[in-house]
Every structure is written in C-alpha cells, then in structure tokens.
Amino acid sequence: MPRELGQCPKCDVLMDTMRMLGVDFENCPSCNGVWLDHGELETLTRSRGGQALHVELKSNKRTNCMCPKCRPAAVLFESVHNLQEDFTLDVCGTCQGIWFDRGEFPSLLQNRKHP
C-alpha cells in the first residue's frame, strides 16, 4: 500500500520512509523522530516475537504540533502512556498516529528485548 509522506510535526521537513520488520514508517531526517500510523506499533512489536504492545493513553495535553497525516486539521496531544514512564508520546486524536521523539522509539524496542 503506497503511503503519502508526511511532514515532521516538529520541524516541518518532509519525512523519509523507513522499513523495519516489514513495516513501512516515517522517520524525520532532521530531528530523527519517528511517526507510526495507527496499528503500526502493534505490528512492529508483534513481529519481534513477543506480544504486541498496546498503547493506553492516560492524559492528553494539546500541543501546537500538527499531525503529519491530518494537517492542518488536527494537532497532536502530548500523552502520558502505559509503555514507559520516562517520556510522553505525541498522539493524533483523529488518526491515532503516534510520534516518537529521537531515541524514544529505539528505547521502547530495546526495553522490550530485555524485560
């Protein structure tokens, strides 16, 4: 399924497509953040042999960053979540896509490997 490249919610540059474990997702070449469409986190974590991670959001704080997919109609919400305590996620309330700042996504996958 071809996907339209989005613009980074933090720096507005066009993101690149990356492929990991058969899943295409977007990566910002400028800030190294990662955008996952709804469901891609589950797919990625499931294919690592474990149980799929499910994000549960515990709070939402509106940000000024636009969703790469729904812009300019939707902004991201900074959310406390169940996965890891040391960072928040930026989530789109419309398409449920998730933004990971630089290092957050690798950290999540790494912690999963060594529970």
Residues of this chain that interact with Zn ion (CB under 5 A) are 8, 10-11, 28, 30-31, 67, 69-70, 74, 92, 94-95
Look up tokens 């902004």; give the residue.
Answer: 75
Judged by beta carbon, residue 44 or residue 98, the one nearer Zn ion is: 98
Cis peptide upstream of residue 72 (ω within 30 degrees of 0): yes
Separation CA 50–CA 58 (nearest Å): 24
Rg (CA), the chain: 13
Amino acid identity of residue 58, one-letter, is K
Least spacing, CB of residue 95 vs Zn ion, in Å = 3
Least spacing, CB of residue 88 vs Zn ion, in Å = 17
Least spacing, CB of residue 11 vs Zn ion, in Å = 4
Judged by beta carbon, residue 10 or residue 105, the one nearer Zn ion is: 10
Judged by beta carbon, residue 57 or residue 112, the one nearer Zn ion is: 57
- What does the block give as tokens for 62? 């509106």
